[in-house]
Amino acid sequence: MIVPDTRPTAADATLARIRSLPADRRRILFTGATIVTMDPALGVIDRGDLLVDGDTITAVGHHLDVADAVVVDATGTILSPGFVDTHRHAWEAQLRRIMPDVDDLGGYVMATLAGYATVYRPEDMYTGTRLAALTAIDSGITTMLDFSHNSRTRDHSDAAVQALLDTGIRGVHASMGPHFGTWDQQWPGDLTRLKDRYFSSDDQLLTLRLAALATAEIAGPALAYGPELASVAEDLGIGVSVDAVFGTASSEAVLRWAEGGLLGPDVTLIHSTGLTAEAWKAMGETGTTVALAPTSDAQIGLETAIPAVDEALAAGIRPGLSIDVEVALASDMFTQMRALHTVQRMRAVNAAHGTDRRPSRITTHDVLDFATLQGARTNGLADTTGSLTPGKKADLLVVRAEDLNTMPLNDPIGTLVLGSDARNISAVLINGEPRKWNGQVLDVDLPTLRTEVRASRDYVVNTPAP
């Protein structure tokens, strides 16, 4: 029998020193790393240092001399901004891969939203959302927009928000009423209570958005974005995330929103597949943001099934990326970056094949930008996170670049996008707080979580929809 070595390591001792200090007086100096800042003015810094002071990055450069900091030797690693997920239905996480080969949006909607969702209790909302957030942290996602469209009661909403709070992720709670089944009709009115209770400060980990659908086709007019919901968001001073933006009907809606002054940087349109050129023009002119879901569009087959990155870029929009639904898709941002990188470059070469045109291909830097800085902008957090810029909050990853699958380090951005995965992430800091260290997510009792997830899954799948 092999007995695991449970002796404390140097990494354990460093973590203990960090955690022994009050959060607001804590200073952490990472030294000797390849720093991919994703700040256009700073670029990539070879063998650099980065200083975290409390919850904020205060310096990036070479040979920083900070006498009172806890020093973390990051030689052989890449420091990167944390990834930003712009759209995930986190409450569904205990149903992961329950329909891995779902063929269309209708199949997903009827099985999940018209079926499983209708029996969810508040405790199921909590379990799914917490599992999704912890998994996000494990794979380097430090900010997650939870498109929480199963808010059947106030307690359901509270449970989803509490799950974000309990994991320590930088969470965006985007609240929406459910598509089908009975519910309290408390939404969108309950957004005022949610904001007062959980989102009263602008300087906190959690932010609030209003979630809506593009059109009334799926779930009726009450959930469709328009003047009424736009007014609610404006009164509360919160952004809006609009899901199921597909095809002709959504294109017509986009033009109506533009004419009515309902588009702008505080509005995110999700998917945006199969839209007309006129719709894209209106989105670009108004500064509207876009969240692409590369694997969702392609794998499930949403509208054209082609992630609309070329259309977004042509309109002057640099999009964010998202996970969408774990019932059928991968849970991590590495997969989204690689899928988008591959699909777009395939299309570009295919379109130019047999001609003398030069393919217009995106790069690994582009997709990392989408997954970090542009994701933050899409979520309304560009001044807070998304790059390793002094003055921004310390949301960062330490990625081992000398593991079997990452060594030798030749191109740090190529290594992050094409060569790394969750196993290479040594540490994750969110708001300066270690959430993953020495390859392990912290403060999680896995046996207990496993029991809770299985119990919730069993209840949901075995309880008939009303």
Q: Is 60 exceeded by the pLDDT of residue 5?
A: no
Tokens for 342, please give them: 């591959």
Q: Are 432 and 52 in contact (CB under 8 A)?
A: yes
Higher pLDDT, residue 253 or 12? 253
pLDDT the model gives residue 200: 87
Q: Is 90 exceeded by the pLDDT of residue 4?
A: no
Higher pLDDT, residue 4 or 206? 206
pLDDT the model gives residue 8: 59
pLDDT the model gives residue 7: 46
Q: Is 90 exceeded by the pLDDT of residue 219?
A: no
Question: pLDDT tens, 15-72?
Answer: 999 999 999 899 999 999 999 999 999 999 999 999 999 999 999 999 998 889 999 9
Per-domain boundaries in the chain? 10-81+385-441, 83-378
| SS3 readout for 221-233 | HHHECCHHHHHHH
Alpha-carbon span 306 to 165, nearest angstrom: 35
Question: pLDDT tens, 137-186?
Answer: 999 999 999 999 999 999 999 999 999 999 999 999 999 999 999 999 99
Alpha-carbon span 313 to 317, nearest angstrom: 5
Asked if the domains 10-81+385-441 and 83-378 are classified in one and the same CATH topology, the answer is: no
Averaged pLDDT of the chain: 96
> Residue 203 burial (CB < 10 Å; 0-12/13-18/19+)?
exposed
Say which CATH class 83-378 falls into: alpha beta
Q: How many residues does the chain have?
A: 466
Grade residue 2 by pLDDT with cuts at 50, 70 and 90. low
Say which CATH class 10-81+385-441 falls into: mainly beta
Query: 401: Cβ–Cβ under 8 A, 6 or more apart, which residues?
Result: 34, 76, 77, 78, 407, 409, 412, 415, 424
Tokens for 415, please give them: 């290594």
